[in-house]
Amino acid sequence: MLHALRKIIPKQILQIYHFCLAKLAVFVYRNPSSELIVIGVTGTNGKSSTVQMIAQMLESLGEKVGYTTTAGFYIAGHDIENKMKLTMPGRFYLQRMLRDMVKAGCGFAIIETSSQGIEQYRHLGINYDLVTYTNLTPEHIEAHGGFEAYKKAKSKLFSHLMHRAHKIINGKKIEKVSVINADDEHASYFLSFPADRQITYSVHGRECNDHIVIKNIGVNEKGLSVDVCGEIMQVPYIATFQQKNAISALAVCYALGYSLKEIAKALKTLEPIAGRFERVDNGQDFTVIVDYAYEPYALHALLDSVKILQPKRIIGIHGSAGGGRDRARRYKIGQIAADHEDIVIVTNEDPYDEDPRVIIQEVAKGARESGMKDDVDLLLIDDREQAIKKAILMAKKGDVVLITGKGSETVMAVKGGKLIPFDDRRVALEALKNR
């Protein structure tokens, strides 16, 4: 509906509408973020995982937390399904969630903060205390009108940080802190926004209170070992992109004042993130992995990580979302899949009001132009459930079946604004049982 309204209502009017809603929601729910230490995580990829890793680590450190992400919501030990398929829900829903966190006794709220949410002022009613970003890649740029506009939208979270009053919680003044990966090419840009403290982390440089040096020791069957300012830590993930997310979470906990020894213990307790490099196992002699990777950068990172498993073949199931999402990504997804996989199956994902077959053909075009042949190593299967079943039936010992695009989502967005039940993990497990 909002997408349709944008076509007929001037942008300035929509901005006023969003601004007023944000202010009203804060008033109705009595400014709940003023009673919590609020952490904002933005970026292109890995936001949901990083939020969940921060939450897991803080809980291991004895804190009570709540969070909001694309993957789901969480309040003090209770999971709440995100059926809206929105990273940042509407202002009233978000403010109510924050108020519920206060009522549940949470000390921390971790908010996955999207560029679209920022453009709609959904961050406006939140008093952030710490902000960080995972990475920036050329995704969502069609909606923003180019990469620089996209980067600027992300930066509004950092400029917003110091525009809100400092909090006094339990008699202590809470600092405004930004956490930046100094190895990232956009680090200097985000460091240009003021904060009480700017904590950086890098594989280079001299260790000090505001800069932590993280040296890679090596990868083993348990994950990644790192030396953080002399403290040896184990990151319990084998996927490279998950390791990076865990290091971001590590840096956030350091910025919050926890000791390196405390952080090392908390890192060990990290558990797998649902829908992110998640294995579906029924005792089969091949590997099935479900991953959210819905855009080119994430898909490339996923395929790089799969190499660690030394697969005989990779059978990939891919699609792309409709509903005004970046169409340019579709060709690239097909191209990347064809360049790295042995068999590519293109299927439906979240078409919204678009023709699913058109989306499938746009993804398939990238695979064809990278050398794949229809009905040989490129299969087009409209029904996603049938596509998953086909891949699992084709798999042989030592293969890896990758199911991408939806991760832990439990619904599919189809025509007419409908959300129908669909879970890649459930479908894959049933296919394995019936194989």
pTM for this prediction: 0.89
Determine if residue 30 is left, alpha or beta; phi over 0 gives left, psi from -120 to 50 gives alpha, anything else beta. left
Residues 403-413 have a mean pLDDT of 96
Q: What is the homologous superfamily of the domain 2-268 according to CATH?
A: Mur-like, catalytic domain (3.40.1190.10)
CATH class of the region 278-434: alpha beta
Does residue 221 carry a pLDDT above 50?
yes
Q: What is the dihedral of CA 61, 66, 67, 72, to 10 degrees?
A: 110
Q: What is the pLDDT of residue 33?
A: 96
Q: What percent of the chain has pLDDT over 70?
A: 95
Residue 7 buriedness (CB in 10 A; 0-12 / 13-18 / 19+): exposed
Tokens at 393, concatenated: 């039936």
pLDDT tens column, 274-287: 999 999 999 999 99
For 76-230, strand residue ranges (E) read 78-80, 108-112, 130-133, 168-169, 172-173, 177-181, 197-202, 211-220, 223-228
Q: What is the mean pLDDT of the chain?
A: 92
Single-letter amino acid code for the residue at 324: G
Residues 176-203 have a mean pLDDT of 96
Name the nearest CA neighbour of 312 among 283, 341, 338.
341
Does residue 69 carry a pLDDT above 90?
yes
pLDDT tens column, 308-366: 899 999 999 999 999 877 898 999 999 999 999 999 999 999 999 999 999 999 999 99
Confidence of residue 144 (pLDDT cuts 50, 70, 90): low
d(CA 182, CA 102): 34
DSSP string covering 143-166: HHTSHHHHHHHHHHHHHHHTTSPP
Residues 229-257 have a mean pLDDT of 96
Domain positions in the chain: 2-268, 278-434
Phi, psi of 155 (to 5 degrees): -65, -20
Q: What is the pLDDT of residue 187?
A: 94
